[in-house]
Amino acid sequence: MPRTAPDDASLAGPGDLPHRRLGRTGLTLPALSLGLWQNFGEADAFATQREIVLHAVDRGVTHVDLANNYGPPGGAAESSLGRLLARDLRPVRDELVVTTKAGYRMGPGPYGEGGSRKYLLSSLDASLRRLGLDHVDVFYSHRFDPTTPLHETVGALGAAVRSGRARHVGISSYSARRTREALHVAAELGVELVVTQVSYSMLNRWIEVPDASGESVLDVAADAGLGVVAFSPLAQGMLTDRYLRGTPRGSRAARGGPLRGEFLSEENLEHVRRLDALARSHGRSLAATAIAWALRDERVTSVLLGASSTRQLDDNLAALAAPALTDEELRAVESVPADTGINLWAARSSDL
């Protein structure tokens, strides 16, 4: 069962956004963080990117999340934020939590992806150059790599901290089994993993499902004192009103992005329509309901959301002030299968 956050579980943060402590660390993150996975590539106007990021910071969003391959092309999102950090955000750099990752394909050849020490540390160096920083606040292994020993991957994360290039380190999209293994290796090596970043939404609840040991990702994280940062709480836009009546032109699904056409099955859309009707009956949008649902569990530190405009960002932030979910709404989500087949990363990491 989810652990509902008590009324005093949130700490006051800049801009009056609720903040939660990241596991057992001294870091706190806003309940809603800004992810630069999409809408921050070279095809997107830099002026719009600048407007979104600066507006987010003004609103109290102190956590900005990246990866080496965010763009397109890879590196573009880090370069964009680097321009902002060099000028607009320089005075508040120490108030921000900047995170990045490496693990997925970034370049050609055998050291263009994976979990090797060579790739992770060279990628971190390149990320720091693009960002114009001497360190990031959290550096993640972006995915479990079955071709590289975990001692090497976790050891590289430890080297990042010892060298001062990262303040903290974590893992992303690791299954419960692999999270336990990574924690065991980290203890052997004297490396402190502090956070796991995972996809999580009302349509993608894999981190709640116990594995053969009887523990879920959330269970393992809680037992180890890991913070949990949840991405894609809106299921790539499915948990909005965007796809209720078909696939609009120019949408992520229409562009052939990560939201693949098979995810928009009639069965999945029927679940979404039912959840949308219930949300509206309680005076909130489906997106606001989805954000509140992902944050209902005290084990979730923050949810990551992208934004294509300041208006969309403000709409998402407004969800933090929405009334608590009703028992009826929670039961409706429980009626949706935990595995609706939309976990984009399962075949490459989270089911290994």
DSSP letters, 228-288, are EEEE-TTGGGTTSSTTTTS--TTSTTTTTSSS-GGGG-HHHHHHHHHHHHHHHHTTS-HHH
Q: Tally helices (H) and strands (E) across the chain.
A: 10, 11
Most confident region among 120-134, 250-264, 324-338 by mean pLDDT: 120-134
pLDDT at 71 over 50: yes
Check: pTM over 0.85? Answer yes or no. Answer: yes
Q: Are 159 and 121 in contact (CB under 8 A)?
A: yes
Lowest mean pLDDT among 1-10, 28-37, 81-90, 223-232: 1-10
| pLDDT tens digits, 282-294 | 999 999 999 999 9
Distance of CA 26 to the CA centre of its chain: 20
**Omega before residue 110 within 30° of 0, cis:** no
DSSP letters, 150-170, are HHHHHHHHHHHHHTTSEEEEE
Show the tokens assigned to 139: 């550096």
pLDDT at 9 over 50: no
CA-closest candidate to residue 124, choices 90, 167, 83, 85: 167
Mean pLDDT of all residues in 220-244: 91
| pLDDT tens digits, 98-113 | 999 999 999 999 999 9
Q: 11-236+286-322 sits in which CATH class?
A: alpha beta
Q: Which sequence spans correspond to the domains of the chain?
A: 11-236+286-322
